[in-house]
Amino acid sequence: LKLILAGLFDCFSDLNICWYGWWCTARLYAENASNIGISNYDDAYYTYMNSGPDACPWTPVSATRQALREKYNLPEEPCSDCTVIFWCAPCSVCQAARELEIRQP
């Protein structure tokens, strides 16, 4: 397994992503899904915004987080994806954005 380059709580290492992810989580999520290649921006945004009160954003964010881990062979850290997303979906989305920014040219 490779190392995760962007820690879950490294938000202050990139304040632009931190603020964008906190205030516009759905938009950053859609960008992540598009950059990973699992969905286009519009579909991902619609899915996030319409995931419903039962699923909240957990289902789409979980799928994107898993796809990112598979793409870069990353471990499930610091705890399970479900736990991370349950307690702070915006933190998870920001972490994915930072990881993509570091790894993609």
pLDDT higher than 70, residue 56? no
- Whole-number average pLDDT of the chain: 86
Return the pLDDT at 105.
66
The predicted-structure confidence for 27-39, as pLDDT tens digits, reads as follows 999 999 999 999 9
**Do 27 and 21 touch, CB atoms closer than 8 A?**
no
Q: What is the per-residue pLDDT for 35?
A: 95
- Identify which has the larger pLDDT, 71 or 8: 71
78: Cα separation from own chain's centroid: 14
Q: For residue 54, what pLDDT band results from cuts at 50, 70 and 90? A: low
* Distance in angstroms (rounded) separating the CA atoms of residues 54 and 40: 24
Amino acid identity of 12? Answer: F
Q: Residue 48 pLDDT more than 70?
A: yes
pTM: 0.86
